[in-house]
Amino acid sequence: MSFVYSLIIVIHLLCWAIALGTWIAAARTREPNPGMAHAAAGALATGLILASIISITGDPNHMKLGVKALIAIIVTVLAFIARKKGPQTSSAVWYAIPAAIVINVVVAVLV
């Protein structure tokens, strides 16, 4: 079970890295790559799986899990909005995506 848990963590982190990397690649042109939205959705899905596993096997920090889930939902929604609107995406939505990803990582590491 430990291997499966570790594997899901790796997939989760890769999804966040891909979401941030595709945003950085598209930052100059503001033409979002569909992979950004899909990577954010993958990170959300794997995060929910990880939260379920930790809730079953250990003593979870419910506040941390709730904050991270909320931020992941926000990032996913914003990424799909950016994907739909393309280069006409508002600056608030466009720059909120990497900010929320970084906040999510900071919460994961420091809380």
Alpha helix (H) residue ranges in the chain: 2-26, 34-57, 62-85, 91-110
Cα dihedral 14, 100, 83, 11, rounded to 10, equals: 10
The mean pLDDT value for 88-101 works out to 94
Distance CA(94)–CA(38), nearest Å, equals 16
Which residue matches tokens 């979870």? 60
pTM for this entry? 0.91
pLDDT exceeds cutoff 80 at 1: no
Give the chain's largest Cα–Cα span.
45
The mean pLDDT value for 50-77 works out to 94
The mean pLDDT value for 94-104 works out to 95
Token pair, residue 22, equals 């595709």
- Give the containing element (helix H, strand E) for 34: helix 34-57
The mean pLDDT value for 16-44 works out to 93
pLDDT exceeds cutoff 80 at 24: yes
Confidence of residue 58 (pLDDT cuts 50, 70, 90): confident
What integer pLDDT is reported at residue 2 of this predicted model? Answer: 87
What integer pLDDT is reported at residue 86 of this predicted model? Answer: 87
Which residue matches tokens 């991270």? 68
